[in-house]
Amino acid sequence: MRRAIIPGTFDPITYGHLDVIKRAAQLFDEVTVAVAASAGKHPIFSLDERTALVREAIKDIDNADAEPFGGLLVDFAREKNAQVLVKGLRAITDFEYEFQMAALNYELGREIETVFIMSPPQYMYLSSSIVRELASLHSSVEKFVPEHVARALEAKFA
Ligand code: PNS
């Protein structure tokens, strides 16, 4: 059984994340989207809200689920008996940060492999922070996030 973890803050989940989750679900037997507490990032959505938004977004992917976590990612991966961490990679701007995290996770858990999935061109520019900024300015975000996420953003910035 090949199990993968797809970690992130998901504040909120975007179509870019969803694309990576769908592609990972085709490569692995089971995927768990691990929603990080990321308290230091001061997310606008609570951990429960972010997890619920991810669960609704992935409800049609049979071999995917979502769970919140608060500790170290490698510990969560071990708890889930996952062998692989999957991260999406957009253009070159993500590389340094992702390279640093992959190297650190390698030191913390050498048995766990990090695998990168390239974002498709249409989502290369997309990020949760851009979506939050647009929503805060009451601009439409329908092109970038599932409908239930757009509604949650509208409510947050009403
Ligand atoms: O979507 P993000 O914010 O880029 O995801 C970053 C995340 C949540 C994957 C990373 O911060 C993380 O793994 N946090 C859990 C704590 C941890 O294990 N830190 C050491 C590895 S960086």
Known catalytic residue at 22? no
Strand arrangement, sheet containing 84-89: 64-69, 30-36, 3-8, 84-89, 113-118
- Asked whether 51 lines ligand 1 (CB < 6 A), one says no
- Asked whether 85 lines ligand 1 (CB < 6 A), one says no
> How many whole angstroms from its chain centre is CA 35?
7
> How many Cβ atoms are within 10 Å of 100's Cβ, its own excluded?
10
What are all long-range contacts of 52-58, with beta carbons under 8 Å and residues at least 24 apart?
A: 53/10, 53/12, 53/13, 53/148, 53/149, 53/152, 54/10, 54/13, 56/146, 56/148, 57/13, 57/18, 57/146, 57/148, 57/149, 58/18, 58/21, 58/33
Residue 118: both structure tokens together: 């390239």
Give tens-digit pLDDT for 6-53. Answer: 999 999 999 999 999 999 999 999 999 999 999 999 999 999 999 999
Which one of 50, 87, 119, 128 is the catalytic residue?
128
- Asked whether 8 lines ligand 1 (CB < 6 A), one says yes
Mark out the alpha helices in 6-145 (DSSP H runs).
15-27, 47-57, 73-79, 95-108, 128-136
| SS3 call for 145 | coil
Give tens-digit pLDDT for 75-125. Answer: 999 999 999 999 999 987 889 999 999 999 999 999 999 999 999 899 999
Known catalytic residue at 156? no
Which one of 50, 87, 90, 132 is the catalytic residue?
90
pTM over 0.95: yes
- Residue with the smallest CA separation from ligand 1 atom 11 is 38
- Residue with the smallest CA separation from ligand 1 atom 9 is 8
- Residue with the smallest CA separation from ligand 1 atom 22 is 101
